[in-house]
Each structure stands twice: as structure tokens, then as C-alpha cells.
Structure 1
């Protein structure tokens, strides 16, 4: 009996020791966790699964903006150029009694909220280095846009590093110029988080149907001093241009673009452009510049906006899709559009058809390259809540599956795929008809 009690006591002590060690280990693990992401977080490093598809598409080639690529040796040459832009920016700002001290104090005051916009902490960047980086990058972008808005050459120094202005800066400046000249609505600062988000906004809001809750920048003036004052005081450049705009808190309604259709509709199949065309679907280019203006009408017409393919398109679109994967997983409209195009384009013949219908403008010079580009864009892209165009998918598939549409497609695909095959089929039909006539005549003659 005593032996039994001793064994039980030893087991109990051993269990208590084990539990205490386990608890301590779990507490250390929990305690070592980094703080959770701030609700303001909106700048992310591209996920590894996407970078592995095409690393170069996500890597800046000319100039670094922000902390993610700060200090890279390959981008060092442009740092002096950015400082020159800062110097000129400060000279103009001084004329409005905007001093360097004010800008530095402002960034210092906002440093914590700015850092919270990033998914990473960057503890290796001291406060002084971080503030200096934000000031230099912000002034560089504002000064660059001001020069472009006044019709000046941005600087020949860029030509020694790249053929053109960095694609994201170039695209943004072009969109700003177009919106400004045509007095189109620009986003409120709370609608846009940073550069990539700004480009996404431009791609999704270029028609009345695609416009979200936005406001006009009224009473614009091309004079540089007026524009500078407006930028400095109305738009808040240090936030609006560098990912520093505070994101909407949880529970606030985002100014998102609502599309008709079932967002939860999972899409597993869509016939290619050529297959649909053979079944009688008519392809028509839309006058809208918004990628979301896609309509399929009752008479079998698929109306789509023009999609232009340039050398920089892959990098541009991939970055927009990466942003959606990280920040808008349930509202990934660019990803959904590319998903639709990926289904429509399977071969070079699909590209040729869409080029012929002016839905694609291919500046790549090779239809095979265009097909490969579109098909690769969707690699490693995760679909969270279904495709926004699910109704169009279903309507197109249903149209194809109508018996006489399907027979028509089969006839075209199998017997009229090429001029030679079509001629052979026609000759065979004529021969069959003549044979039938001859047989009938023979029977009548008897």
C-alpha cells in the first residue's frame, strides 16, 4: 500500500513539473509574438509565392520609394537625383513660408502612424533615417509631378538609368495629366492608400458606371505656385503620395465599386474566345476605359473595354494583383478581370480574334507572347470569394450549351477550321448532293 502511494506521488510530481514546463514554454512562445498589424496597415512585401513566378516584376529597376527597397545598392545612383528634386522643392516651398523645420516636425509627429502603414516593422531604421527617407521620397514625387504638370521635361538624368521614367511614376503622372486636362474626378485622400492603390483606382474608375464615392478637385490652377499650395495644404503630400494615407478602420464602409453578379460564385470553366465566337458570340469593343465595364447582352454580344499590352504591362498588372491579394482579397477586381481573360485566351488564335475585334491592342509584337503573358498572370493567384464576373461566365457557358449554338460551333471547329478544310467540306457536301440527285434521277428514270 505504501509503495503504491509513493508511486502515485511521484507520478503527480512528474505531471506537475511537466505541466509547469509546458506552460512556461507556451507563455514564452506567445510573449515572443510581434504586435498584430495595425488597422492602418496597407503596404506589404509581395508574397513569396508570387515573387517566385516573376521576381523582376516586383523589383524596382530605377528608383526606390519607401522602406521596402531602401538602401539597395542597385538603386543608389538615383538617390542624388532625388535630393536635387528635394532641394528645388524646398526652394519653392520657402516662397510660401513653408520651412524645412515644419516638414520635419510634421513627419516626426506622424512617424508612428506612418510606420503602422507597413506590414513590417523596420526596426533597423532609426527615427532620423526614417523621417529623412519620407521627406526625400515625398518631395521627389511631388516635385516630379509639378514639373510634368507645367510641361517641363522631368530630367535628362533619368535617361542614363532607363529608357523611360519608372513605369509606376510614368503611369501615375499620365493618369493625373489626363484627369486634370479632362476635369475628371480624382479620389479623395481616404479612398487611396498609396501609389499602387492609386493606379488601381485609375484602372477601376474611368467611367460613370465604375465611379465610387469620389470628389472633384475643384478650381485647379496650372500655375505652379497655386498647385504647390494646393498640394501642400489640401491633399497632404506626405500622406497621399507615399502610402501614408490612413486606411479606413474596421467597420467603416469602403468606397468600393459594386458589380452585378454573385461574388461567391466559384468559376471552374469558361469556353475560349474562339469557341464562343464559333458558337455565335459576337465580340465588341467598349468605348469605356474601365476594365470592369464588361456586358453580355441577350443577342449574344460580349462587350469589353480595350486592353492594351505593353512591355511594362506584366509588371504593372502583377503589382496591382499583388496588392489585391494582400489588401483586397474579397474585392479583387483586377484579379477577377485577369481571370476572365485567362479563360478567354488559351491559344494564339484567341489573341488573334480579340486583336481583330480591337479588344486587345498588342504592342508586344507577337501574339504568342501576348497569350503567354495573360496565361501566366493568374499563376499563384488565390480566389477568396468567387469571381465578380460569375454571372457573365454562366451566361456565356449557357449560350454555348444551347444545342444549335453548340452544333454551329462544332461544325465550324471540325469542318471549317481553315480555308482548305472548309473548301474540302464544301466540295464533299456538293459531291454528296450531286450523288443524291443522280440517284433520285436514276430511280425516276426506271
Structure 2
């Protein structure tokens, strides 16, 4: 049985490599089903067996790739197009998916922290969310950013999150990788940590709207409520001991719990959303206080904040 399965998989990948007509590959629904089934943990063949059989087939054809790993990476065109930056010891296709998603991950582990504010709450506290394309999906970066108008204490935080497309197979593939990771990589749960971080960001459909607007998510399902439920269910019954996002979560919580950041964000949004409005606001404040017949009014009341 193992022999038949191995021959089927190698033949399927070779036909895809050569772009040959095939009754399975030419029908999108059947191909999509194969892509998902071949990543189920219960359907896996040891990678070294496939590699051994491929070496026998490779000896007869010069146009085949030197390493077997090139075939599944082409077949799963949703995998990263970048070359693996290291010689990964792949166990099977589920493990290959995990390796491909987490390659070039900037690892900086600390104790697992959860409960960071949602995307909308972070945005309201002055955290700028920005989607980035390319690179490792898991590399979430927070940076200090300066305000457009050089005003003291108006620097903020920018959270850069790689772009992710949510499509029909996203939930199935993610659950497979998470289950495999919980069993075989409990001390390095890269995917589980990423999903948990995104789960904290996503509480309501408004969070999805904001993440889509910022270029972080692309909704190919058509229903934001489905994405909310999907991410909220992802975080159930998983165990995390450490995380590469612990420092980011700590900084975000400290930023959000600082009342000045909320007041500053509102002031920037209302009076300094662009250079022209900011310049006009500063000019109005100066003129107001230079006018000889105006009583003194604290700047906090002028801005509309009781604790500014």
C-alpha cells in the first residue's frame, strides 16, 4: 500500500512539473481536494520514502529537479516562492508546510503572554497597523514612528504584519499544521503562536474591516463573520509555553493602558490628521492666546480633553 501511494504521489507531482494533461490536475475542484488531502497528518508518508523512490525515477530523466522537495513546492503553489534558506529536515508534507511558513522567522522567545487589545482598540490608542508583502508570514514587527509634524511626545507605535489571504482551504491547512505542531514541536510552536496573536487582534467584524483596510488580510471568503469565528476557534484547546511575540504583546499592553496615548491619538485624529489641519490648529491656538481680550483657557479644555 505504501508503494502504491508513493508511486501515485510522485507521478502526480511529475505530471504537474511537466504541465501534462491529467484528469485530476485539469479539474480545479479535484486538484484543490488533492492539495488538502495530501496535507492531512493522517495521510502522510515519510518524506525519506518518497525521496528514495524519486531518486530512482530521477535517474532516467535529466529535466527533473535534483531534489524531490522542488516537486511538492511547485505543486502547492500557495507555498512560498522563495528558496528554503536552510536544509530543512522535512518529515512529510505537513511538516513541509510548517517549514515553508516559518522560514526566516526572527526568533526572540519569551514566556507566553496573551490578551493583547484588539485591532480596533489598538488603532484607537494610536498604534498604526500596516500590512507588508513578502518575507516570512510570521515576522510581525513593532517599530517606533515619528509624527508628521515634529511635536514632542507625539511619536507613536507602528505594528507591521505580513499580508495573509483567507481562502477556502485556510482553515483546514492551518488546523492540520497546528495539530501537528502541538504534537511534534511543543517547544517551538511557531504557527500556534502566530494564530494566537492574530486571535487576540480579532474580536469583531470591525477588527476584520480594519485589518483588510490596512492591507493585512485579504478576505476571499466574502463573509467577515466567518473569519472572526474561525480565528476565535483556532485558539481553543492549544497549549503554549513560550512565544516569539511576548515582547510585542507586553509593549502593546503597556501602550494601550497608558491614558495619555488614547488622548494623544484622539488629538492627532481630530486636529492633526494632515499637515494642513495640524498647521491650522497650531496657528489657531497661538492666535487665541495672543488675543488681548480673551480670558485664559487651559489647553486641555481647548483641545477637548479633561486629562490632556
Please give the TM-score of this superposition, normalised by the length of structure 1. Answer: 0.46
2:34 aligned partner: 166
Cα contact 2:25–2:31 (8 A) shared by 1 = no
Equivalent residue of 1:298, what SS?
strand
| 2:80–2:101 CA contact under 8 A, matched in 1 | no
The aligned length equals 230
- Taking the aligned partners of 1:261 and 1:275, their CA distance within structure 2 comes to 25
**Correspondent of 1:314 among 171, 191, 201:** 171
For 1:406, which of 255, 262, 265 is the aligned residue?
A: 262
Question: Secondary structure at 1:284's aligned position in 2?
Answer: strand
Q: Which has the higher strand share?
A: 2
Pick from 312, 328, 339 the counterpart of residue 185 of structure 2: 328
**Structure 2 residue matching 1:155: 3-state secondary structure:** coil
Residue 288 (structure 2) pairs with residue 389 (structure 1): no
1:276 counterpart = 2:122? yes
Q: Rate the CA distance shift 1:397–1:179 in 2: closer, same or farther, 3 A.
A: closer
For structure 2, the 5+ residue unaligned runs are 40-68, 146-156, 271-293, 296-308
Would the aligned equivalents of 1:158 and 1:164 in 2 still touch at CA under 8 Å? no
State the secondary structure of the residue aligned to 2:242: coil
1:174 CA displacement: 7.0
SS in 2 for 1:283: strand
Q: Write the deviation string for residues 192-247 of structure 1: whole angstroms up to 9, x where unpaired.
A: 10110011111112xxx43xxxxxxxxxxxxxxxxxxxxxxxxxxxxxxxxxxxxx
Mapping for residues 264-303 of structure 1, pairs under 5 Å: 265-299=111-145, 300-303=157-160
Contact 2:38–2:93 (CA under 8 A) maintained in structure 1: no
Per-residue CA deviation, residues 240-265 of structure 1 (Å, 9 max, x unaligned), is: xxxxxxxxxxxxxxxxxx61241xx1
User: How far does residue 315 in structure 1 lie from its aligned partner after superposition?
Assistant: 0.6
- Partner residue in 1 for 2:60: none
CA drift of 1:407 comes to: 3.0
Q: 1:166 to 1:281 in 2, by over 3 A?
A: same
* Residue 220 (structure 2) pairs with residue 360 (structure 1): no
CA distance in 2 between partners of 1:363 and 1:142 (Å): 31
Can you list the C-alpha shifts for 1:152-193, whole angstroms capped at 9, x where unaligned? 2342488598473423368896733669996723764x6110
Q: 1:160 to 1:375 in 2, by over 3 A?
A: closer
Q: What is the distance in 1 between the residues matched to 2:163 and 2:207?
A: 15
Partner of 1:148: 16
Task: Give the 3-state SS of the residue equivalent to 2:144 in structure 1.
Answer: coil
Q: Which has the higher contact order (CA 8 A, sep 6+)?
A: 2
The alpha carbon displacement at 1:307 in A equals: 1.3
How far off is 1:308 after superposition?
A: 1.1
More helix, by proportion = 1
How far did 1:332 drift?
A: 0.5
Change beyond 3 A, Cα 1:180–1:321: closer
Q: 2:203 aligns with which of 327, 340, 346?
A: 346
Would the aligned equivalents of 2:125 and 2:256 in 1 still touch at CA under 8 Å? yes
Query: In 2, Cα distance between the equivalents of 1:359 and 1:287?
Result: 9
Partner of 2:83: 184
* Structure 1 residue 311: Cα displacement: 1.1
The answer to whether the Cα contact below 8 Å between 2:114 and 2:249 also exists between their aligned partners in 1 is: no
Q: TM-score, normalised by structure 2?
A: 0.66
Describe the shift of the 1:351–1:379 C-alpha distance in structure 2 as closer, same or farther (beyond 3 A).
same
- Structure 2 equivalent of residue 40 of structure 1: none
C-alpha separation between the residues in 2 aligned to 1:174 and 1:350?
A: 35
Closer, same or farther: CA 379–181 of 1 in aligned 2, 3 Å = closer
Aligned residue for 1:290, secondary structure, equals coil
In 2, distance between residues paired with 1:139 and 1:366? 40
Match of 2:96 in 1: 198
Describe how 1:71-86 pairs up with structure 2 within 5 A: none
- Quote the RMSD (CA, aligned, Å): 3.3
Cα shift readout 1:284-337 (whole Å, capped 9, x = no counterpart): 112234222110002211011111111111110000000011000110000000
Deviates more, 1:294-303 or 1:173-182: 173-182
